[in-house]
Chain A
Amino acid sequence: MARQTASIQKAEASIYSYWFLVPAFFIFVIFFVIPTAISLYFSMTVWSFDSSTFCGFDNYKMFFSEYALTIGIKNTFIYAFLTSGSKVVLAFLIAVFLTGKIRTRNVLRSIVFFPNLVSTVAVGIAFKAILHPTKGYINQFINLFGLSSVDWLGNRSLALFSVAAVDIWKGLSIATVIYVAGIASIDHSYYEASSIDGASRWQTLRYVTIPLTAASRNTVIILSLIGGLRSFELIWTMTAGGPGFASDVMPSIIYKQYTQGFFGLSTAGNVILLVMISIVIFPLQKLLSKSEEAMR
């Protein structure tokens, strides 16, 4: 009898706790699950304002036969890994510098964060002007040293990297802030212990700071990689995927299809992008969290 009551109580307790999840669950279903399911359906139709025709996997076939797609997928990965990798390394170095014993570090920290306060579109438009081949500041500066102008955004093999460089500049700030928080939360006793052991500054960095910022580093990697894979605003404002298709990435291809009125096709593209990001991110996240646990 007593045992029965206990098990009922236990069951009630577990049901009771589920009630707390209900509001969040509804929000999640209404705003995330249902739209995803609907978009799966519409990705298999040719649709416009008020009508849709079911066409099976034709949109997917058409999407994969898109001429710009090969360039787009390649560019997407180059862009994502290049920007993410640079941010992980550069932001760490800046964060180490900013957590050091320098007098103006609070001012410097704010300065580093400034690019993040500016809208990406504004940054894109500004840099498009700065990188202009004849009228841009950067080329005028280069010319001062007698070097010839570089066509940053018009050169087919350079355009993507010019945009990536701006992306890195802009994205460093948030990565740095995450690192600074990570470094600041390292217990001082580790540093004291290492200094008693006679560790050099490099050894302290290598064996204390780097391992103990694994959590922040993983956050930076995941965030910047996802950001890079679906990066759109900068590319769109600076080159619009051009010249031609030279700096097209997956999101810009999808956006173009959408603006051109191929709604079903672009929905299919979004589903493919979702799958693509998932394939990259989920295993990576697993790998990273495993290594994080191993370090503890």
Chain B
Amino acid sequence: MKKLVALLLTLLLVPVMIPAMAEGPTLRIAVDTNASADGLRAVIEKAREDIGVNVEVEIRPGGDEGDNLVKAWIAAGEVPDLLYYNSGSKLLEMDPANNFVDLTAYPHIVDRLADSFKGAVTVGDAVYGVPLTSSQAGAILYNKVIYEELGLEVPANWQEFLDNCKACADAGYYGLIGTFGTSWSSQVLFLGDYYNVVTGYPTFAADFEAGTAKYAITPSAVRSFEKYTEVIPYYNPDYVVATYEDGVEYLAEAKGAHWIILTQALQNIDSLYGRETVDEIGVFCVPADDGNNGLTVWVANGIYVNKNGAHVDEAIKFIEYYISDAALDVYANTLLANGPFCIKGYQMGDNAYAAVAKDMQAYFDAGTTYVAQEFECAIKGANCESICIEVGTGAISAEEAAAIYDDDCYKMAVQLGFNWD
């Protein structure tokens, strides 16, 4: 019996040892479960043929749990050669100067990055990452079939949006889909309204970082929270516990008319319901009260190179390839874009989703886009989701929410060493 167990254990070791014996270095790249890795995998496959670099994908948890894991890796010095992580404010938490390679030493990489993305991975004078995916927007996805049936038009301002929600609710659809069960999704209305915050207060981010602007005393910022209280009557009955997956189902199966979410949901709808269904989905921005509308854009998250890794040169070679036209074509053919890529001079193929090619592109063409707050400002309240759920369930008022959010940001300011006193 003992012998048998020993034999079995030895056999178990064999598969563990085989990769270790393969030739040449194999880079590890860690991506989280929220990122669709299919595009990345396709590029990796191509990179093996084209530039002879082997990369192995490792899936790590997303959300807070993933943040902790990455922090633990950093503390223990076990960061993979390539790491996928948020760009914008959260990058700062990872102490990039000590952990990631500054790409300014590689001008041919940095020069290809679009300014919006470059801004989101720049800390001080250093630039740290390349975009993993296309950019996307925090916007309102709507079901065009329902709109057609009820004879509705894309709303020109916030009041018209509320009217549309009401019309859909009266017709027996969910006027607005809420998926607070997947808590991050609750904050998309707040974050996606940032274009309107900035229209009301153009230097908000800089003043907020300096500690002089506050949400509670900025009317256009309080307005973001007020919008939560105004849409409450139109939500699906289970909006507090419904999850992101439920939201995909409600929208794709035309149970609900609107969903305020990141446009990455288009990919999910595509993979679950097919191309025909996803092209029945349209996009418009979170409307402004005065109809001066614009789209709030999430630039892509980044791939960062571990400064202390054993294979820095190969890793640089890989990310250089990753943002080449050839690689982007492979990527875009595997996984249709949720928005434009953040690479200068790259033209997307003509097979893009209708919502992206028509609806979103219109905002980009008109120049009415603005990056989301987290890409412009280092400080984001860590309890943002919970505060949005509180105000979205009517537990607190918009003014209270703004004040609580300010307090929440204060904690982040202290942790990051801003002097707000």
Contact = CB atoms under 8 A, between A and B. Distances in A.
A200 interface: no
A104 interface: no
A256 B412 CA distance: 13
A142 B179 CA distance: 24
B417 to A, nearest CB: 8
A46 B241 contact: no
Number of contact residues on B: which range applies?
Answer: 35 or more
Interface in A219-257: 240-246, 256-257
A4 interface: no
A67 B407 CA distance: 8
Interface in A50-105: 50, 53, 58, 62, 65-68
A14 interface: no
A241 B387 CA distance: 12
B383 A261 contact: no
Contacts of B241: 132-133, 151, 153-154, 243
B238 A133 contact: yes
A259 B415 contact: no
Contacts of B181: 154
Nearest to A48: B95
Given A49-B71, A67-B407, A154-B181, 10 more contacts: A46-B417, A49-B74, A62-B414, A66-B407, A133-B237, A242-B240, A242-B389, A243-B240, A243-B390, A245-B390
Contacts, number: 94
A161 interface: no
B183 A259 contact: no
Contact of B414 (A46, A66, A245, A256): A46
- Most A Cβ at <10 Å: residue of B67, B395, B411, B412: B411
A133 to B, nearest CB: 5
B264 interface: no
A232 to B, nearest CB: 14
A259 B241 CA distance: 22
A155 B407 CA distance: 26
A262 B411 contact: yes
Contacts of A62: 410-411, 414
B343 to A, nearest CB: 30
Contact of B64 (A53, A58, A246, A259): A259
A256 B382 contact: yes
Given A134-B238, A156-B393, A262-B411, A243 B180 contact: yes
30 contacts: A46-B417, A49-B75, A50-B95, A50-B98, A62-B411, A66-B407, A67-B404, A67-B407, A132-B241, A133-B241, A134-B237, A154-B180, A154-B241, A241-B386, A242-B180, A242-B386, A242-B389, A243-B240, A243-B390, A244-B389, A244-B390, A244-B396, A256-B382, A259-B67, A260-B64, A260-B383, A261-B382, A262-B411, A265-B411, A265-B415
Given A243-B180, A244-B395, A262 B382 contact: yes
Interface residues of A, number: 35
Contacts of A154: 180-181, 238, 240-241
A49 B390 contact: no
B269 to A, nearest CB: 20
Contacts of A242: 180, 183, 240, 386, 389
Interface string B130-163: 0000000000000000000000000000000000
A241 to B, nearest CB: 7
A291 B336 CA distance: 71
B383 A256 contact: yes
B93 interface: yes
A169 B289 CA distance: 51
Contacts of A257: 382, 411
B68 interface: yes
A60 B410 CA distance: 14
Contact of B389 (A49, A134, A243, A256): A243
Interface string B61-74: 00011011001001
